[in-house]
Amino acid sequence: MHRTARSLTATGLSTSLALLAATPAAAAEMTVTVTIPRLSVAEYHAPYVAMWVETDAGKPVTTLATWYSVKLKANEGTKWLPELRSWWRKAGRALAMPADGISSPTRPPGTHSVSFAGAKSPLGRLAPGNYRLVIEAAREVGGREQVAMPFQWPVQAPATVAAKGTAELGAVSLALKP
Amino acid sequence: MRLAPSALHLLALAGLAASLATPAAAHRRWLLPSVTVFAGDKGLASVDAAASNALFAFDHRALGLDALAVTGPDGKPVTPVVIGRGEMRSAFDVPLAQPGTYRIALAMNGLMGSYMLDGKKQRWRGTRARLSELPATATDVELSENLGRVETFVTLGAPSTTALAAAGQGLEMLPVTHPNDIVAGEPAEMRFVMDGKPAAGLKVEFVAGGTRHRDDAGIQTLTTDADGIARFTAPTPGFYYIEADMEGGTAAAAGPGQKPIKRRASYTAVLEFLPQ
């Protein structure tokens, strides 16, 4: 499994493009850090995780990443995607999964960072406004949790937003660079 | 054991007739799907069919499946795989091969009653199409028409509405809010129609599952507005039961000089309210 941070391209985005402006903004960078807690349970599976950008009114704008069992035969890992309930309703059910630049394997307990940068990333076409980055995690035979972090776009000055889950997510943060 | 639909048909007749006879007095009739929201290239909804007092417990008897009709996202019929019929419940699987919303329904309708012929009372059971088979010399024709619809809905991928088009006969629930896009805490609006026309002022019962594990029966009685719309708000996620009954609609004629045919329609549905 690849755990390195990478830039996502806009390829494969098929929903909620209305809020994406036509012309790319300056290359700003967003780094999302997600801690998946180590849990002592009889049956542990790494959680499915989705992260997406929505307006401060809750309207989904773009999916940044979905971590799920992408390598199962016959696309069987998609079966449990609706467990990411918020993401599924807002964006996932309208996407064909796997989606280039969005789908990647689940990640084990620990801290993981992913960066989205440049005009080619989904953020490159984000219209100015107030947004939330939402991270949702759902674990097989486990629970579900989501955490949201507000941010403004475009980024004026380097900033970090931090939040913390209580069950399925540990500390999460959002680092923004103009 | 897998029963062929024809064998099941025979087994189901007795139970179906009972439910047709007294829709209002019957137990709660429901189709409970294993899952309502599916992802991926294909899915399989497994469904239990039962008449019960407690929701959603198999505590009374199985529902027959001979009136089972599954409509796919393209509006065409989907063939269910019948697992079988036990004393307390029937069970079947619905293969989901194309994305969109499936309407799973037991749509029953029929006429029954009696008439006098040569001084003897005769029982009669049939359909509108067979009314012409009543003997021309029959008198005192007393018939009632019963239309019952028991439904649930499942969706693979994004919800669609083709399968939800009104059949136009009997009492139906049509989406304002999509039946597979509802969450606890947000009102879900549904339009009730009788023979395709808004059923205004209709009383609709709305009950959360899990009745056996609480003291309160938990029945909310809602009334549809002038457009036939009722608004359901579920405080907690779960499967909910909806039931409505009414008389009227467009009655068939039993023949010249005969009494109008009484007409009753019932509708029940199971909806899943997901957590937000």
Pairwise CA distance, residues B254 & B259, whole Å: 7
> What is the structure's pLDDT at B10?
41
> What is the structure's pLDDT at B19?
44
Report whether pLDDT(B65) > 90: yes
**Is A19 an 8 Å CB contact of chain B?**
no
Average pLDDT, chain A: 86
Note which residues in 31-90 of chain A have CB less than 8 A from chain B.
74-76, 78-82, 85-86, 88-89
Report whether pLDDT(B1) > 90: no
Note which residues in 160-199 of chain B have CB less than 8 A from chain A.
181, 183
Q: Are A32 and A172 in contact (CB under 8 A)?
A: yes
Pairwise CA distance, residues B194 & B224, whole Å: 12
**Is B132 an 8 Å CB contact of chain A?**
no
Query: Of the given ranges (A13-22, B57-66, B132-141), which has the lowest mean pLDDT?
Result: A13-22
Tens-digit pLDDT profile for residues B82-124: 999 999 999 999 999 999 999 999 999 899 999 999 999 999 9
> What is the structure's pLDDT at A174?
97
Q: Quick one: average pLDDT of B212-221?
A: 91
DSSP state letters, B61-113: EEPP-TTEEEE-TTSSEE--EEEEE-SS-EEEEEEE-SSEEEEEEEEEEEEEE
Report whether pLDDT(B21) > 70: no
List helix spans (H) across chain B. 5-21
> What is the structure's pLDDT at B26?
63
Tens-digit pLDDT profile for residues A115-128: 998 777 888 889 99
> What is the structure's pLDDT at A119?
74
Whole-model pTM over 0.95: no
> What is the structure's pLDDT at A19?
52
Provide, as residue numbers in chain A, all residues whose Cβ is less than 8 Å from the Cβ of B181: 89
Which DSSP category does B53 fall into?
S
What ipTM was estimated for this complex? 0.72
> What is the structure's pLDDT at B248?
86
Q: What is the CA radius of gyration of chain A?
A: 15
Pairwise CA distance, residues A79 & B157, whole Å: 10
Of B65, B82, B77, the C-alpha closest to B19 is B65
Per DSSP, the three-state class of A41 is: coil
Q: How confident is the model at residue B260 (pLDDT cuts 50, 70, 90)?
A: confident
Tens-digit pLDDT profile for residues A129-160: 999 999 999 999 899 999 999 999 999 999 99
> Considering chain B, what percentage of its residues have pLDDT values greater than 90?
75
**Is A94 an 8 Å CB contact of chain B?**
yes
Tens-digit pLDDT profile for residues A25-47: 556 899 999 999 999 888 999 99
Report whether pLDDT(A5) > 50: no
Pairwise CA distance, residues B107 & B252, whole Å: 18
The pairs formed by B2-5 with CB atoms below 8 angstroms and a separation of 24 or more are B2/B81, B2/B82, B2/B83, B2/B84, B3/B82, B3/B84, B3/B85, B5/B65, B5/B66, B5/B82
Q: Quick one: average pLDDT of B159-178?
A: 96
Q: Are B181 and B164 in contact (CB under 8 A)?
A: no
> What is the structure's pLDDT at B131?
87
